[in-house]
Chains A and B, each alone.
Chain A
Amino acid sequence: MPSPSPKTLIVLPAFNEAGSVSEVLREIAEVLPGIHCLVVNDGSTDDTRRHAIEAGATVLDLPFNLGVGGAMRAGFKFAVVHGYDNVVQIDADGQHDPRNVPALIDQLASADIVIGARFAGTGDYGARGPRLWAMIVLAKVISRISRVRLTDVTSGFKANGPRAVALFAEHFPAEYLGDTLEALVIAAGAGLRITQVPVAMRARQAGNPSHRPIKAAVYLGRACIALVFALMRPRLSIPAEGTR
């Protein structure tokens, strides 16, 4: 297995993840020795920062909570400022397996964004009822826009190539579901190539995913609204180098 490029930055958006962040960082260091990790501390009120620094990561401290989208844009800006080519987004709650990172980065040779997809045949990630339907509908719509067959468009496990990093450092949306759906719509609109790699998802080390039907229905509604607005917005282009 080739070791990932040294110019790859792993970004972990973290909001009150003191319980899992050290373990996640330790595992990344074990599987991908020498890779640089950035924990974007999204206004946590617990010990996330201390745990992350002790585990050897760089910590970008946001002064208040901006949400996953806000944290990720800060991470992309950090990557641009410090000259990283690729950014891999991994959740700090331990549901993404860092062993998949090399497979994601390999695909960056022919794509700008590689999604670690949960329903592509590997693993036993279970979603049922309205939540599953929502994910299928959203995947179909995004597949159509990006002209690639995607099965999981709400995954937070993604690798971004240099063109995606440049685009997202300026235009990564902070709105609800912006970090997944709208980001993909923006990327497709800017002409980036999107692809996916099947990954196995693990149980979160802390916290619980929502599976209650009412919550799932609300999720479906909000996702559809978010998607419609994302599609209505004017297209964005990748900012030219040296504009900042």
Chain B
Amino acid sequence: MSTGTYILGVVSALIALFTVVELLRRRRLRERHAVWWFAAALLALVLGVFPATLTWLAELLGVEVPTNLIFFVSIVILFLVNLQHSSELTGLEDKTRVLAEESALQKVRLERLEGRQHPPVDDSCPEP
């Protein structure tokens, strides 16, 4: 491996880690969303600084081409993060739905109080 690629690996990992930490610090990212990204960036940094760990790990797991191990782990992480997002999106949609219902119910109440919609006439005196 040339010095160039070594530096590229370390610098990319540092940028990723810095971005995650910065977003967390500015409260633009909540901890529970940041966990996966933080772990991924940290892993990238370790592998960037000590490329030998990757070769050793790949050999240990029987992966012939070490880069394939990187691709595999990256895809697994991205898959899990996406799944988590879809699940959170579902939760948000449920909450939005409840809010929409509540706001609609309040709107009818308000409109009745303001006389813009009339409650139905009581059945004891049905309309002609």
Binding site for B on A (CB under 8 A): 6, 29, 33-34, 36-37, 40, 53, 56, 58-64, 66, 70, 73-74, 77-78, 81, 174
Contact = CB atoms under 8 A, between A and B. Distances in A.
B100 A64 contact: yes
Contacts of B126: 33-34
Contacts, number: 51
Nearest to A33: B126
Contacts of A60: 104-105, 107-108
Contacts of B67: none
Contacts of A62: 100-101, 104
Contact of A70 (B97, B103, B105, B123): B97
Contacts of B97: 66, 70, 73, 174
A54 B9 CA distance: 69
Interface in B88-112: 97, 100-101, 103-105, 107-108
Interface of B: 97, 100-101, 103-105, 107-108, 117, 119-121, 123, 126-127
Contacts of A58: 108, 117, 119-120
Contacts of B101: 62, 70, 73-74, 77
Q: Which of B103, B107, B120, B127 has the most CB of A within 10 A?
A: B120
Nearest to B116: A53
B127 A63 contact: no
A64 B97 CA distance: 9
Nearest to A60: B104
Nearest to A7: B123
B117 A78 contact: no
Contacts of B117: 53, 58-59
Contacts of A37: 120
Nearest to B108: A60
Given A64-B100, A66-B97, 10 more contacts: A6-B123, A33-B127, A36-B120, A59-B117, A60-B107, A63-B104, A70-B101, A74-B100, A74-B105, A77-B105
A16 B119 CA distance: 23
Nearest to A43: B100
A64 B96 CA distance: 10
